[in-house]
């Protein structure tokens, strides 16, 4: 018998090979067990796991809309509370970066401010993948997407990623953690920690998307690790607004190692001036090293 927890995301879903969403969902369920209710916004995860009349979810699951996941979660929490069932069943909202950082931020802000006892997991693959790789507020600097394409006069997306963990921290969340699907143990531990913490908690999981980022389907984990090893994705935990734990990197790798494996950054290696742009990305990584004490 395996000691690994049972997977509550049944096989047969329509996710791509190497899909980061499926990994994130699986790890979240491993951490949460059978006694949980999952809320998804519209997005890849919802579409690929519930083609009616099939469902991959072996736990109660609901999808309402794109921008209201946290509100739906708060209603579920209120219902369980009203019926005297709160405390045991974990309530887990799980949305992509678009629904979390952009269109759903109002309902997230409301739910965190109200202090519902639930966990929000953001699966951050840094663009609107379900609709065809359009730019979101989580798209990194200089990434080429279908709505921020690199072109003769553009290196792609010109804005840095929105700092969602800081926004959640400003709401007074008792537990916030960044993680990555490339580190299953880390992610499972942090989701467990979030589940066990009373109040609204937040997990921000970096999630390399084979289709949207343009890399071989076997490389999801490798790319995810490189994001961490280059210091472009700092992994930390915050309790009551203070950073309490940081995953240290001994010798940060140059950002080129991460960028060169992805189609979305390919233009930086082919366009005139690309080298300078890569340097700007290195500055972001270097700043992370200092800011988070990586």
SS3 assignment, position 208: coil
Of 200 and 274, which has the nearer Cβ to other proteins? 200
Of 68 and 262, which has the nearer Cβ to other proteins? 68
Q: How far is the CB of 223 from other proteins (least distance, A)?
A: 28
State yes or no: cis peptide before 53, omega within 30 of 0.
yes
Q: Binding of other proteins at residue 68 (CB under 8 A)?
A: yes
Q: Binding of other proteins at residue 63 (CB under 8 A)?
A: yes
Place of tokens 């369920």: 29
What separation in angstroms does the CA of 279 have from each of 65, 142, 148, 191, 276?
40, 11, 20, 34, 5
Q: Binding of other proteins at residue 6 (CB under 8 A)?
A: no
CB 108 within 8 A of CB 118: no
Of 39 and 249, which has the nearer Cβ to other proteins? 39
Q: Binding of other proteins at residue 7 (CB under 8 A)?
A: no
Q: How far is the CB of 62 from other proteins (least distance, A)?
A: 4
Q: Using CB under 8 A, pick the residue from 1, 3, 4, 83 that binds other proteins.
A: 83
Question: Per-residue string for binding with other proteins, 101-140, x by CB under 8 A?
Answer: -----xx-xxx-xx--------------------------
Q: Binding of other proteins at residue 62 (CB under 8 A)?
A: yes
Q: Binding of other proteins at residue 47 (CB under 8 A)?
A: yes
Q: Using CB under 8 A, pick the residue from 35, 216, 275, 291 that binds other proteins.
A: 35
Contacts of 52 (CB under 8 A, 6+ apart): none
State yes or no: cis peptide before 46, omega within 30 of 0.
no
Q: Binding of other proteins at residue 64 (CB under 8 A)?
A: yes
Of residues 141-180, which lie at the interface with other proteins (CB under 8 A)?
Answer: none
Among candidates 5, 14, 34, 30, which has minimal Cα distance to 181?
A: 30
Q: What own/partner pairs with CB < 8 Å and gap ≥ 24 does 149-154 have?
A: 150/267, 150/271
Spatial distance between the Cα atoms of 34 and 195, rounded to a whole number of angstroms? 13
Of 20 and 91, which has the nearer Cβ to other proteins? 91
Of 113 and 216, which has the nearer Cβ to other proteins? 113
CB 56 within 8 A of CB 49: yes
Q: Binding of other proteins at residue 217 (CB under 8 A)?
A: no
Spatial distance between the Cα atoms of 28 and 34, rounded to a whole number of angstroms? 11
Binding site for other proteins (CB under 8 A): 34-37, 39, 46-47, 50-53, 55, 57-65, 67-68, 70-84, 89, 106-107, 109-111, 113-114
């Amino acid at each position: 018998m395996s000691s690994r927890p049972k997977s509550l995301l049944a096989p047969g879903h329509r996710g791509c090979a190497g899909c980061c969403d499926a990994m994130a969902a699986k790890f979240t369920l491993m951490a949460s067990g059978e006694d949980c209710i999952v809320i998804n916004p519209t997005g890849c995860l919802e579409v690929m796991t519930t083609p009616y009349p099939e469902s991959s979810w072996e736990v109660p699951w609901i999808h309402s809309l794109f921008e209201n996941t946290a509100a739906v979660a708060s209603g579920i929490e209120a219902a369980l509370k009203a019926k005297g069932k709160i405390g045991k069943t974990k309530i887990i909202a799980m949305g992509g970066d678009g629904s979390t950082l952009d269109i759903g931020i109002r309902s997230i802000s409301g739910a965190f401010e109200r202090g519902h006892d639930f966990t929000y997991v953001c699966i951050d693959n840094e663009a609107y993948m379900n609709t065809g790789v359009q730019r979101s507020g989580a798209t990194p600097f200089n990434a080429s997407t279908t709505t921020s394409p690199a072109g003769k006069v553009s290196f792609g997306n010109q804005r840095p990623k929105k700092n969602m963990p800081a926004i959640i921290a400003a709401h007074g969340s008792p537990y916030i953690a960044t993680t990555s699907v490339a580190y299953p143990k880390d992610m499972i531990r942090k989701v467990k920690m979030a589940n066990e913490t009373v109040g609204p908690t937040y997990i921000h999981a970096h999630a390399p998307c084979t289709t949207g980022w343009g890399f071989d389907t076997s490389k999801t984990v490798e790319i995810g690790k490189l994001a961490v090893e280059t210091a472009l994705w700092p992994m930390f935990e915050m309790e009551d607004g203070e950073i309490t734990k940081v995953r240290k990197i001994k010798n940060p790798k140059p950002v080129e190692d991460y960028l060169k494996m992805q189609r979305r950054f390919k233009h930086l290696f082919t366009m005139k001036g690309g080298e300078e742009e890569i340097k700007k990305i290195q500055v972001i990584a270097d700043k992370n090293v200092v800011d988070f004490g990586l």
